[in-house]
């Protein structure tokens, strides 16, 4: 891009106003949504708080290994250790805590060592001979470091677009954790709120990252159309295969623990499918919208039919990789369970592919992929129609059709 053409795409007052309005809309949605749902997320263990600490010294190790009735090696016994408290009123004090092992524990944690950062709780109501008990290793610090590294890479590579991506990710997380989950726990219609979250997230993300213009509207409408198709397919398939939502022990625990509201696990599954597919669907809709826009800008003589033909050709290249991306993502998330079941059955039996735990994962992958496939023609037709009056590069690169920020490249 020449120096003169770069001057044409500098952000104008209209761009800044649009950007501010998108941020205001996004903030109002979170605030109003939180007020409407009116459910505050928090810890259920009243009066008991996790304590950050570091293992200083192992006082005693009374653990022994044995073979249980199933033929597995298990560990029994206790490890008593001194821990330096790193948070709370007792910060800086050294206390004695205990890590227990028994053969009935489904998952045995790694035995602690000096220098390990761990979470301990006050052993109120339990007679362990010490005042504190080990519960978990502190893993959030490492995850926070990885998150910061990701953010730096995103901003360093994408500059202002990378920063806008981070802002959109923040608003998306707030929408899920401050609006959608409280709505579910408050007993609101899960189907309705899942669709609301998808609409909000799609509009907010595309407008923040790509600006307000015809290209963004094509991407938004194509994405929402694909998500709607995925949602309808999910509802239709549920009527045919009779899902219950009981796909794991976690679902059963949720059903029995949340007693103040009748939780619809099928609706939760529906929400998981369309929200999970939204990112990939948004990606393909934006790819088609941007590709057709560039074609029209560079060759304003293209007709609607020619743009549709070009869009179909581009879609065929996109669909294979994007469908694989979504299917492989779901396969990867359920791979350990699937491998164990295949090993247990020794083949591919009829029963295996009728188990709801397996069927639900296959349904997620197929319904999400159908949403992608439906997004491609929708975005193509919408783009060809809405771009038909674009007259060329000089007139097309008006502020309303570009991102809010375009950096000057050397």
- Give per-residue pLDDT as tens, 346-370: 555 666 677 777 788 788 888 888 8
Which CATH number is 51-140's, of 1.10.150, 2.40.50, 3.40.50, 1.10.1760?
Answer: 2.40.50
Instruction: Tell me: pLDDT of 122 over 90.
Output: no
pLDDT at 408: 34
Instruction: Tell me: pLDDT of 145 over 50.
Output: yes
CATH number corresponding to 3-38+186-401: 1.20.1640
- Averaged pLDDT for residues 177-197: 88
At residue 222 the predicted structure's pLDDT band, cuts being 50, 70 and 90, is very high
At residue 44 the predicted structure's pLDDT band, cuts being 50, 70 and 90, is very low
Instruction: Tell me: pLDDT of 129 over 70.
Output: no
Q: DSSP letter at 391?
A: -
Angle (CA) 404 31 42, round 5°: 125
Report pTM: 0.76
| Average model confidence (pLDDT) across the chain | 79
How much of the chain exceeds pLDDT 70, in percent? 75
Could you tell me where in the chain the CATH 1.20.1640 domains are found? 3-38+186-401
Instruction: Tell me: pLDDT of 200 over 90.
Output: yes
Highest mean pLDDT among 119-123, 340-344, 388-392: 119-123
At residue 68 the predicted structure's pLDDT band, cuts being 50, 70 and 90, is low
Q: Report the range of poorest mean pLDDT among 69-78, 122-131, 159-168, 391-400.
A: 391-400
**What is the radius of gyration, based on Cα positions, of the chain?**
27
- Averaged pLDDT for residues 232-260: 76
Return all residues near 339 (Cβ < 8 A) that are at least 6 apart. none
- Averaged pLDDT for residues 126-141: 80
DSSP strand pairing (94-101 vs 132-137): parallel
pLDDT at 330: 67
How many CB atoms within 10 Å of residue 394? 11
- Averaged pLDDT for residues 286-311: 88
pLDDT at 19: 83
At residue 401 the predicted structure's pLDDT band, cuts being 50, 70 and 90, is very low
Q: Report the range of poorest mean pLDDT among 115-119, 120-124, 131-135, 196-200.
A: 120-124
Could you tell me where in the chain the CATH 2.40.50 domains are found? 51-140
Q: Report the range of poorest mean pLDDT among 5-9, 30-34, 285-289, 335-339.
A: 5-9
DSSP codes of every residue in 62-122: --EEEE-TTS-EEEEEEEEEEEEE-SSTTTT-EEEEEEEE-TT-SSPPPPP-TT-EEEEEE
């Amino acid at each position: 891009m020449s120096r003169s053409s770069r001057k044409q795409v500098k952000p104008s007052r209209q761009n800044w106003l649009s950007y501010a309005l998108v941020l205001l809309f996004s903030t109002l949605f979170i605030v109003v949504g939180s007020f409407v749902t009116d459910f505050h997320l928090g810890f259920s263990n009243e009066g008991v708080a996790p304590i950050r600490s570091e293992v200083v010294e192992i006082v005693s190790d009374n653990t022994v290994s044995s073979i249980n009735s199933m033929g597995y090696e298990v560990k029994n016994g206790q490890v008593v250790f001194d821990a330096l408290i790193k948070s709370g009123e007792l910060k800086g004090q050294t206390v004695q805590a205990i890590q227990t092992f028994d053969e009935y524990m489904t998952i045995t944690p790694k035995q602690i060592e000096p220098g390990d950062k761990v979470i301990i709780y006050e052993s109120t109501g339990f007679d362990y001979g010490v005042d504190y008990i080990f519960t978990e290793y502190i893993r959030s610090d490492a995850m926070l470091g990885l998150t910061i590294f990701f953010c730096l890479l995103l901003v360093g590579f994408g500059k202002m677009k990378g920063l806008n991506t981070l802002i959109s990710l923040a608003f998306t997380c707030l929408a899920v954790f401050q609006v959608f989950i409280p709505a579910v726990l408050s007993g609101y219609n899960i189907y309705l709120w899942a669709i609301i979250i998808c609409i909000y997230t799609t509009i907010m993300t595309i407008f923040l990252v790509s600006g307000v213009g015809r290209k963004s509207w094509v991407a938004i409408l194509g994405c929402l159309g694909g998500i709607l198709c995925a949602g309808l397919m999910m509802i239709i398939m549920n009527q045919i295969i009779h899902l219950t939502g009981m796909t794991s022990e976690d679902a059963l625990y949720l059903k029995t623990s949340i007693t103040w509201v009748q939780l619809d696990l099928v609706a939760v599954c529906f929400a998981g499918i369309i929200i999970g597919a939204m990112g990939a669907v948004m990606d393909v809709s934006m790819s088609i919208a941007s590709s057709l826009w560039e074609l029209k800008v560079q060759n304003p003589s293209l007709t609607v039919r020619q743009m549709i033909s070009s869009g179909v050709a581009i879609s065929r290249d996109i669909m294979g990789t994007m469908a694989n991306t979504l299917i492989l993502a779901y396969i990867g998330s359920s791979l350990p369970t699937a491998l164990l079941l295949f090993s247990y059955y020794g083949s591919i039996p009829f029963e295996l592919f009728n188990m709801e735990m397996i069927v639900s994962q296959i349904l997620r992958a197929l319904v999400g992929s159908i949403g992608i496939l439906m997004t491609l023609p929708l975005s193509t037709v919408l783009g060809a129609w809405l771009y038909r009056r674009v007259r060329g590069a000089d007139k097309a690169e008006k502020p309303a059709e570009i991102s809010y920020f375009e950096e000057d490249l050397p």
